[in-house]
Amino acid sequence: MTPGVTIWRCAKCRAGFFPERLLCPRCHGDRFETDRVHEAVVEEVSVIRHMLGQENWQPRRIASVRTSDGQLMTVGLVDEADVGAAIELFQDEAAPFGRAKRSPSVS
Ligand SMILES: [Zn+2]
């Protein structure tokens, strides 16, 4: 599990994109550098209750989220984070996931 999710940043104008683009829609640059975003806000949540051909499917929650850098992406939710929640992003293999940000624990 890797913290953050990979985005691609235009080498020329620094605009960040997800997924990767061939050309920057802003400046038409064609060189990109990878970067990582770590935070997002949940905009929409859907539950996948069935998957064709899959038995024993457990309902999964996926969310459309807006990253702190402005990209819109779809991530799997691993907890009960809901619309408006600030989440932290991480990647498992290549798949992006999110979970509610832990408030710093006071001990
Ligand atoms: Zn650009």
Cα(68) to centroid(ligand 1), Å: 18
Q: Give distance in angstroms: CA of 32 to centre of ligand 1.
A: 8
Return the number of other C-beta atoms located less than 10 Å from residue 65's C-beta. Answer: 28
17 CA distance to ligand 1 middle (Å): 10
pLDDT at 54: 86
72 φ, ψ (degrees, to nearest 5): -100, 130
Distance 57 CA to ligand 1 centre (A): 42
pLDDT level of residue 102 (50, 70, 90 thresholds): confident
Tens-digit pLDDT profile for residues 42-101: 999 999 998 889 888 889 999 999 999 999 999 999 999 999 999 999 999 889 999 999
| Dist. CA 28 → ligand 1 center (Å) | 6
Residue 105 has pLDDT above 80, yes or no: no
pLDDT tens readout for residues 1-11: 899 999 999 99
- Ligand 1 center–CA 73 separation, angstroms: 19
Residue 103 has pLDDT above 80, yes or no: no
Question: pTM for this structure?
Answer: 0.85
Question: 23 CA distance to ligand 1 centroid (A)?
Answer: 8
SS3 of the chain: CEECEEEEEECCCCCEECCCCCCCCCCCCCCEEEEEECEEEEEEEEEECCCCCCCCCCCEEEEEEEECCCCEEEEEECCCCCCCCEEEEEEECCEEEEEECCCCCCC
Confidence of residue 106 (pLDDT cuts 50, 70, 90): low
